[in-house]
Amino acid sequence: MPLKVPCPTCNKDVLWQPENTFRPFCSKRCQLIDLGEWADEGHKISQPIQGATQVTEEMLDALEDEFLQHNKFFVEPE
């Protein structure tokens, strides 16, 4: 009786056997989805690091403008 494992992507039962080249995934599609998620995560991790080195005066000004727009009381003293 072959071992069954849940597909990490869709949780479908996958037979653990040499014929299944995509194990532990049920299909190539699920394998690619999983790889894609890994790639996405890597992308997300590299984003803030990239952003942090590119904080410019312009960006700070834009952030300040946005902050003031959302805090009208701050620029309208009584």
- DSSP states along 26-50: SSHHHHHHHHHHHHHHHHHHHHHHH
For residue 39, the minimal CB distance to Zn ion (Å) is 18
Question: Between the CA of residue 61 and those of 48, 57, 64, what are the distances in Å?
Answer: 19, 6, 5
Where do contacts with Zn ion occur on this chain (CB under 5 A)?
7, 9-10, 12, 26, 30
For residue 24, the minimal CB distance to Zn ion (Å) is 9
For residue 15, the minimal CB distance to Zn ion (Å) is 12
CB nearer Zn ion, residue 13 or residue 58: 13
